[in-house]
Amino acid sequence: MSLSKEKLAKWIYDNMVNDPFKYEYICSKVTVHDFKQIDNRLEVEYSFWDDRHYDSEDQNNFLFDIFLGKDYGVNFPRNFDLIKCKDTYVWPSSEDCKDLRDNLSDINEEIADVMTFSWDNEETHELIELYLSDIDKKSFAEMLIKEYGANVSFPTFIPKCLIPHFEIILSEYNQSHHKVPGKI
């Protein structure tokens, strides 16, 4: 079986989301930029987005909290970190390496770079639909209306690139509840 960037990206992603110490750090797909296999050794350069949701103690990381129930809420991130890694994996044999078997004999994981981007950076635009698809839109719309008066106008701290998406969520909410929104 031959290795490809797509196969490696899926393998790395699956390993991260199934690792109790790493799953909190990933909020996107993994993108493999380069890899090199030398016998039983595999060197991979890849990146992924981290929304800092695990760092709920620092409210500066979030635009706002989304209250979804008595005991549950979601922090909506202010920024994203693009994490770039250079990892080296070693297997007992080159066949184990080619098949990405679970019998790794050594792993060297290295964070090569961390770059922080706000929503208004073009680099994060790919995350808008991904991130908004995971939220409870009804609760989100209710929070925007009740906490921030978004049926009249949006608060200034909301990044401009998010406003058209939030307007759609509010419009759908208002239509489903037969409400006539104010000026948005």
With CA atoms as reference, report the closest residue to 29 among 6, 45, 4: 6
| Rounded CA separation 96/40 (Å) | 7
Q: What is the DSSP string of 31-57?
A: EEEEEEEETTEEEEEEEEEE--TT-TT
Over residues 45-53, mean pLDDT: 87
Q: What residue segments make up the domains of the chain, in order of their start?
A: 5-134, 136-184
Instruction: Give the whole-angstrom CA distance, residue 161 versus residue 148.
Output: 18
What DSSP element (H or E) covers 16?
A: helix 5-17
Chain-wide mean pLDDT for the chain?
Answer: 85
- What's the pLDDT band for 74 if we cut at 50, 70, 90? low
6-32 per-position pLDDT tens digit: 999 999 999 998 887 787 778 889 999
Q: Where are the alpha helices (DSSP H) in 27-162?
A: 94-98, 125-132, 137-148
Interatomic CA distance for residues 121 and 5, integer angstroms: 26
pLDDT(70) > 60 = no
DSSP state of 33: E
Q: What is the structure's pLDDT at 136?
A: 81
Which of 86-90, 120-124, 160-164 is the least confident region? 120-124
Confidence band for 71, pLDDT divided at 50, 70 and 90? low
